[in-house]
Structure 1
Amino acid sequence: MVPEPSSEAPAKSFTDIQTRNGSIYTHPGLLSLPPSSGTSSSSGKRHRFSIIVPESVTDQIILKCKAIASGTSVTHVFIAALAMALSELQPPKEESYAVRYVNHSMINLRPYCRAPYNTREHAAAPYHTVSAQALGIDLVVPGPPIDGKDDGQINELSQVATQVRDYFRTVRPTSSQDEQIAVSPLMFKSLTTPPGSDPHIVSDPPFCPAVISSLGNIGSIVSASHGPFELTNVWAASEPIGAGVAIFLGTWNGRIELSGVFDTRYHDSGYIRKFLERMLDSVSGGLDVDNCTAPIRVTPNEEK
């Protein structure tokens, strides 16, 4: 459904990108979410936990995200907050040390598919892939305070969000001839596990990546009413891979919702709630808005 590449150039581009990604992933301090203590069940369940931000605070966040820099969005700010929240949970050392958050952007391939798969009339058309190019955010875990003062190395939300914005600009396609579109079949192939393999195999000790998917303003996609039916809430979730945590950011009915899907073998609901609250604290502190987590509406969901 995606147009076939007209030359061997995409294969070379993909190889070059993977080489650059290798240098991004090769870092001694790759960030992950430390597992919850006391979680030892051999057969976990999938849980979803969400926090809904009040409409008045949501309005402040949207306004101040745009004020950071031209083109900076709520998505960029929350990705920055995720990276910063992870860095704050890393074990302290005698001196400050460098860490790195690595992620990939989701790319909607639908506009670049061959007709009729690029239209709303084709129900199976909204295909997505992840960007071939990785995002690497370098942060600092501060050392212990000296004489009541920190070591002067602070991770600024606005600076990190601007870096995320710049990354999104480089990987966002504008035509079917863009590199990200041309290499998408190769990206699909690289992400497809061999037959019989288990994608949920976890290292020992478990490495728990936390990735965020932005759903945007869901109200612009899904109608709140259809005949006699009215939707009071809309959300999406996906299967967390291994010990990872899948985080979703969306806006519905004028309110931001931040949710996380996780496996109870590695995390518990209270731990995930505190982590989502830590992300929101990073947003409220970095943007100087009202506390995002008070008052809040918390929604736990469980799946077998």
Structure 2
Amino acid sequence: MLSAHDHLLWRQTTPGRWERDLDEAEQCYTSLERAYEGTGRHFFAISGHISLSVAIDRSSSRSKIEARVRESLLRAWVKLRYDHPTIASWVEYDIKEKKCKKIYEALQNIDSEDDWMIDTFILVSNGQTGAEWCNSDPPVPRLPTLFLVKPPLDVQGDATVRYDLVLRCHHDIIDGVGTLHLLDNLFKHASESYANLRSFVRPRFGDECINLSPPFRVVAGIPTEMTAKQKAECEEIVSHNASLRKNVELATVPFKAGIEKPGAHQRVALKLPKEKTSRVLQACKKIGVSVTHAYHAAIAISLRDVQERKTEDRTVRYINYCLINERSHCKEPYSTPQHAATVYHSVSGKSLIVDMTVPAMNKQNEDDSTEKERRREEFTRVALRMKNHYLDIRNDADHLPMTPYYWSMNTPEYLDPSSHANPPIPSPNQTPSASISSMGIVDQIISPTQGPFELDNPWVTGEELGTGFGLFLGTWRGQLTLSGAYNDAWHDEEEVMAFLNRCNDVVCQGLDL
């Protein structure tokens, strides 16, 4: 296997410089960024957020604890670079070989280590919270960077030091679940550093290259060639997906027309109380679906509900895809948090479709008891449809070896920078949809308490530069959060919050809560 994947293995090309080719998942995100380069923004760039607090003991002061927290996190970041050197890697285009490569350059001395720390660990103190800062069109530096945001004091005399921590990173370096694992690893180191500031020993950089992460194709043992059967199936999938859009009206996200260039990425969120979350989870189990299936069903139904009503009933089709965390299919230690800074997920091949009826404008409203029962039945049907689609992927023995092809299906051409310095910005998608990414039970990935650090409100988004919605679902300490990413060129906060609330209402009504 290794010889077949030689081009995907890290190799030293000059002293201290390591390179490898990208696999199809990484190339997809790199090519999307390149396609939208003319916007000055980075498609699907990762924002990983978490809030932290540390109590101020009576023997100390706010300024001393703040300094200790900052120093502990900085030292943890240095240790993280040794454990996960991929966080200091980047992608560049090799003009000679006409392809993209992932690059890592080892630290040569203390000065270069200090320069890296200054460049990639940045304090933000401008009166914003971390969430507000993330919605202010923040930069995506060349290398993964931690921004330590100091929020305004909520209460005068609060005996707690609070910060919001934000990781900004290109998506060809790390994915959403990987970001959560990386944050957990960071705070494990920070906890140790906080307790032992005086005895801190810097990692001995020089051999950290052994920890560079290979791409998904290698660690999942995916063959270089598909079988004849798999190739035929891929061709059938392409044809099938194309046919799904013919002679049918699509359920699309309404957006402001006439704007050609993306604006700033934004995120809004809806958090359910613990009691409501518990009731949702229990009701989902009762009908045999997961909370992800339920909210994915709600997205499809909510999208149908915002379509214009006309004089007669008509059918619309929801089309989307699934993202699947594939770390469990990777060989050890790549299946573990030791290799968090990676793109170890797949995308579904066959499109997910749900056909639904948009009722005529004169039909009964949703408060009618018959209509409520019809909607509950519809919700169960759609949720089970979602469940079956996810199960079809999980049970498909050919899914893994075919994932590189699925990624390639969605990858735009990467235009050579030497001949296309400024590629034209893609036109806005006129039939946008709404997708969902499930982070699962986040406190099973990130420990809420780590030494003196109390952690809260972890979330991840990918920079949205399109006309659709990207929804994210996760549970933290018994509270479910549904968040939405959108672009402010085509949508506003009130509109997206209304959509999130509609999705939640659909779930609650469908589960008879």
State the TM bucket, normalised to the shorter chain.
0.7 to 0.9
Task: Pick closer, same or farther for the CA change 1:146–1:73 going to 2, 3 Å.
Answer: closer
Instruction: Letter of the 1:168 partner, please give it.
Output: Y
**Mean alpha-carbon deviation: is it higher for 226-235 or for 53-62?**
226-235
- 1:65 alignment partner, one of 262, 281, 284: 284
Aligned to 1:15: 235
Offset at residue 154 of structure 1 (A): 4.5
Does the residue aligned with 2:244 lie in a helix, a strand or coil?
Answer: helix
The answer as to whether partners of 2:250 and 2:319 remain within 8 angstroms in 1 is: yes
* 2:226/2:401 contact within 8 Å kept: no
Q: Is the 8 A contact 1:118 1:125 kept in 2?
A: no
**What is the alpha-carbon distance in structure 2 between the residues aligned to residue 211 and residue 79 of structure 1?**
8
Among 430, 437, 444, the alignment partner of 1:220 is 444
1:144 to 348, 352, 361: 361
What are the residue-to-residue correspondences of 1:86-125 with 2, within 5 Å? 86-114=303-331, 116-125=333-342
Aligned residues: 281
Displacement of 1:238 after TM fit? 0.7
1:251 deviates by: 0.7
In structure 2, the partner of 1:243 is: 467
Worse overlay, 120-129 or 85-94 = 120-129
How far off is 1:179 after superposition?
1.2
1:230 corresponds in structure 2 to: 454
Residue range with higher mean Cα deviation, 115-124 or 235-244: 115-124
Identify unmatched segments of 5+ residues in structure 2.
Answer: 1-217, 416-422
Q: Give the secondary structure class of the aligned counterpart of 1:94.
A: coil
Cα displacement string for residues 65-99 of structure 1 (whole angstroms, at most 9, x for unaligned residues): 11113xx1111111111111111100111001001
Over 3 Å counting, the alpha-carbon distance change for 1:104 and 1:43 in structure 2 is: closer
Matching residue within 428, 431, 440 for 1:202: 428
Pair 1:75 & 2:297 matched: no
State the distance in 2 between where 1:202 and 1:123 align: 33
**Residue of structure 2 equivalent to 1:282:** 506
**Paired residue for 1:179, among 385, 398, 402?**
398
The C-alpha deviation readout for 1:176-226, integer Å capped at 9, x for no partner, is xx21101111112222211136675314xx333211111111111111122
TM value normalised by structure 2: 0.51
Q: Once the 2 structures are TM-superposed, how far is the Cα of residue 46 of structure 1 from its aligned partner? A: 1.1
Q: Structure 1 CA distance, aligned partners of 2:326 and 2:436?
A: 19
Deviation at residue 163 of structure 1 after TM alignment: 1.1
The alpha carbon displacement at 1:108 in A equals: 2.2
Pick closer, same or farther for the CA change 1:121–1:41 going to 2, 3 Å: closer
How far has the Cα of 1:246 moved from its partner? Answer: 0.8
Deviations 1:220-268 (A, max 9, x none): 1111122211112111101224212111011111111011011111000
* Superposed displacement of residue 146, structure 1: 5.6
Distance (Å, rounded) in 2 between the aligned partners of 1:66 and 1:46: 35
Moved more, 105-114 or 178-187: 105-114
Q: Distance in 2 between matches of 1:248 and 1:265?
A: 20
Q: Say yes or no: does 1:131 pair with 2:348.
A: yes
Give the residue type in structure 2 aligned to 1:35.
F
Higher relative contact order (CA 8 A, sep 6+): 1
How far apart are 1:168 and its partner, in Å? 1.1
C-alpha change, 1:53 and 1:146, in structure 2 (3 Å) is closer
CA RMSD in angstroms, aligned pairs only: 2.6
Write the distance in 2 (CA, Å) between the matches of 1:148 and 1:268. Answer: 27
**What code does the residue aligned with 2:456 have?**
T
Instruction: Work out the CA distance in 1 between the residues paired with 2:265 and 2:469.
Output: 10
Using the TM superposition, give the Cα deviation of residue 109 of structure 1 relative to its aligned residue in structure 2, in angstroms: 2.5
2:189 is the alignment partner of 1:189: no
Report the AA paired with residue 407 of structure 2: F
Other-structure match for 1:25: 245
- Contact preservation (8 Å) 2:461, 2:485: yes
Higher helix share: 2
- With over 3 angstroms needed to count, the CA separation of the structure-2 counterparts of 1:56 and 1:119, relative to structure 1, is closer
Distance 2:507 2:365 in 1: 25
